[in-house]
Structure 1
């Protein structure tokens, strides 16, 4: 017959799991509130009190999970960058050689625009003048990796181009996307979609003369920049 201690063991194990699950839900709640506040006021003007108020909790509850605003921004930024890396992986995957350049460019732009429209705080955090240094450093590292991958995807379509030319083309595409993204995020509805189409046209017109009739194995990825 089981002893009281043996009966209590499953319960003892379950309680920490429940506490952990509640803690994760609370963290998610606070991060969602922080995203809203950062987008509305910017990182500098945001405060832990405003974030707690947006989350519907007391400042004391917030401090149980985060010591300050910077810690909240870092956690939020890291989670979004993990998701962005997954988006990169999909958008920068090899493209079927039969895929028209226009279709490849459009698909990559749509994927990254969708991510940034769902997470506008990502752009706010990555481009603010006073974001925590750790976020800026990780974002710069991510960009460096992305540029290298874009160059690798471009190279087969530009076999005779010097490496410096391929790198330049990749950087120009990223810069075009970056500028276009800021315009897109500043619009809503039909006007936003119109700006997305303009961004696709600009990238396509830039790449067409360079790629010519060669398979579009890499150009699609050129639009896949983070939220630079």
Structure 2
């Protein structure tokens, strides 16, 4: 007998509804923060009744876990695309572009990632996955710097350099995401790259010349 297409149609409708609810949750989390958000606000944003929302998610925490899990999965995929042997071999200015541009693009397209991950009472499961992601990214930054740095830095120094570079990136990223799209955001991106270039160039063999001296006024 031919397969009944109705279950597949119902499944497809369910997936679309879940996506609709998660998009609404992302908007609400960005506007209000995780703590101040509610399922009623998410339902209003999605233009559905609270009852419809509860058919798919029992509470706000379940929504955050699903949304956060999807965003973390996508972020992990981005990491795999930027920390490659090909990128590691690039001259430092191009290396900074190759690593930062995809990460900045992801966070600008998904501002809910920062809003959710930095919530004071973000669900424990998401906090744990975020901590694992943070540790993995920091480890990759350290390995990249260790591969390209001129001979000399000790393991302790490499840890400190990686911590500082990553902290600079996170601080600059918050300013970039908060900036309006257009010239202001582009200028913030340029400033972040300039800071990282000037910080890392003395550590990379032969890269000091990549840093141009700013004109005197």
More divergent stretch after superposition (159-168 vs 74-83)? 159-168
Q: Which of 208, 212, 217 is residue 201 of structure 2 equivalent to?
A: 208
Note if contact 2:57-2:63 (Cα within 8 Å) is conserved in structure 1.
yes
Displacement after TM superposition at 1:187 (Å): 0.8
Give the alignment partner of residue 198 of structure 1, picking from 191, 195, 200: 191
Q: Aligned pair in 2 of structure 1 residues 165, 27: CA closer, same or farther (>3 Å)?
A: same
Structure 1 pair 64–95 and aligned structure 2 pair: CA distance change class (3 A): same
Q: Is the 8 A contact 2:64 2:123 kept in 1?
A: yes
SS at match of 2:84: coil
Q: Does 1:95 align with 2:95?
A: no
- Unmatched segments (≥5 aa) in structure 1: 1-5, 215-228
- Residue number in structure 1 paired with 2:153: 161
Q: Say which one has the larger Rg.
A: 1
2: CA distance, partners of 1:89 / 1:97: 12
CA contact (8 A) 2:78 2:103 kept: yes
Give the TM-score of the pair, scaled to structure 2.
0.90
Alpha-carbon distance between aligned partners in 2 of 1:132 and 1:73, rounded to the nearest angstrom: 7
Alignment length, in residue pairs?
205
Higher relative contact order (CA 8 A, sep 6+): 1
Counterpart pick for 1:55 among 16, 41, 46: 46
Among 19, 28, 32, the alignment partner of 1:41 is 32
